[in-house]
Amino acid sequence: MAIDQVNVEIVAREVIRPSSPTLNHLRKFNLSLLDQLAPVSYEPLVLLYSNFQQQLAGTHESQRLKRSLSETLTRFYPLAGRIKDGASIECNDLGAVFVESRVSCLLSKFLEKPDAEAIRKFIPVETESPEALTGSLVLVQANFFACGGLAIGVCISHKAADPVTFSTFIKAWAAAAFRSVDDSTVLPLFNASSLFPPQNLPLTRPAAVELMNDKCVTKRLVFDASKIAALQAKAVSESVTCPTRVEAVTALIWKCAMNASRSNSEHLRYSILSQSVNLRERMVPPLPENTIGNLVGYFASCATECEIELQSLVGQLRKGLLDFGENYVEKLGEDKAFMAVRESFQEAGSMLQEGNVDFYASTDFCRFPFYGIDFGWGKPTWVTIPTGANKNVTTIMDTRDGEGVEAWVTLTEEDMAFFERDRELLAAASLDPSALDLIRPMSSL
């Protein structure tokens, strides 16, 4: 649905504070080195519920969201504070922002043709806002659709949370709303700064690794299980005998984006793809998943004009991950975290400064349990991650059935004009399909 057909009216805005005050000895929370180096931006998520009844909107169920958010902020107390000096959070219980809105259209109509720009209306702050460093660390927008339906948009500052922390927080909030918090509920662990002590660094990360803004277009791709299996089979090589579905999909998108860029350039361009990886499971010993903060690393894969085939690109993706494990993670285990992180940023900066290089970034949200988030009125009908304005960025996540992959791809207008017509891409994926095709029919839509 086009952005001008989705009218979102803000009807209320308030601050939700923790249900219990933070104890004095917990008032200062040290950021880790990786928190310091995280981008100044918000991580967004939108969960859409078709089985939410409109007659409850703004009354009991709205209060349930606020009450449970307040209770959750008590347990995740740093997220109710404010970043003070680039190295710590002042846990002053200033709270999270909670916005309520009314959406003029029907949820079913919106799901027929989801639009990237329209989706951004469901979150309470721009993802690239500098408030991620100076303002509220958590913001929520509850969007009530006409004739039923609810979209919950959540933004959490990347300076305080990575995707795993985001998932842990959302699950805890839903459990509190559903009154399913008990002795088995996992509590957050706040020890990242002891593993990666903060350093005397600038408040923002080096400009060399910032993705440049341009006039961009975002498109949505959906790969079903059978097409992914075919891609995996096609990508098999001596070096990678069993490609993962994420590797196969990421490599194809990278390949088609490179082809588009080269179609618009007089010269062949070197290409770099950056991906993130969860450090918790790669540390020795591994860290619990409920360790809070930014525990994510980044590795780069490179491709020349001669390495454009799917097998080759999957091989480069796997090589980048293996090199990351051998070089970067080992240094982290040897108390050389600052040196390892600095080398990683210097390497990225030097690559970008070479010129004639296309830099891409891909974030993988597959296997995150977002489709299991139940606040008390059932699981989400559709989950999506709003994209920002940066070019050459891809975000992928599971489809509702857990078998397929959904990808949001942002490229320049010129590159997208070629990308969206790529025959190999269109043979493997559906371009901007209805989200209703991915879910079971529901009468309440």
Q: Please give the single-letter amino acid code of residue 255.
A: K
Strands 270-278, 296-303: pairing is antiparallel
Going by C-beta distance under 8 Å and a sequence separation of 6 or more, which residues neighbour residue 129? 41, 42, 135
Query: Residue 205 burial by CB count (10 A; 0-12/13-18/19+): exposed, middle or buried?
Result: middle
Long-range pairs of 198-204 with CB within 8 A, sequence gap ≥ 24: 198/30, 198/31, 198/32, 198/33, 198/35, 198/36, 198/87, 198/88, 199/33, 199/36, 199/338, 200/87, 201/33, 201/36, 201/37, 201/86, 202/86, 203/40, 203/86, 203/133, 204/40, 204/133
Judge if the upstream peptide bond of residue 285 is cis by omega within 30 degrees of 0: yes
**158 annotated active-site:** yes
| Angle, alpha carbons 146-151-154 (nearest 5°) | 150
Strands 88-90, 28-30: pairing is antiparallel
Q: Collapse the DSSP code of 48 into the 3-class scheme (helix H, G, I; strand E, B; otherwise coil) and give the result.
A: strand
Q: Give yes or no for a contact between 231 and 252, defined as CB atoms under 8 angstroms apart.
A: yes
What are the Cα distances from residue 133, in Å, to 130, 157, 165, 342, 386?
6, 7, 17, 21, 20
Alpha helices in 55-106 (DSSP H): 60-75
> For residue 409, what are its two tokens?
């791809």
**Which residue do the tokens 């219990």 mark?**
20
In eight-state DSSP terms, residue 291 is: B
Q: Collapse the DSSP code of 219 into the 3-class scheme (helix H, G, I; strand E, B; otherwise coil) and give the result.
A: strand
Of 93, 214, 374, 432, catalytic: 374
Going by C-beta distance under 8 Å and a sequence separation of 6 or more, which residues neighbour residue 293? 31, 32, 34, 35, 160, 161, 162, 165, 190, 192, 193
Of 158, 162, 224, 422, catalytic: 158
Query: How far apart (Å, rounded) are the C-alpha atoms in residues 313 and 91?
Result: 45
So which residues are the catalytic ones? 158, 374
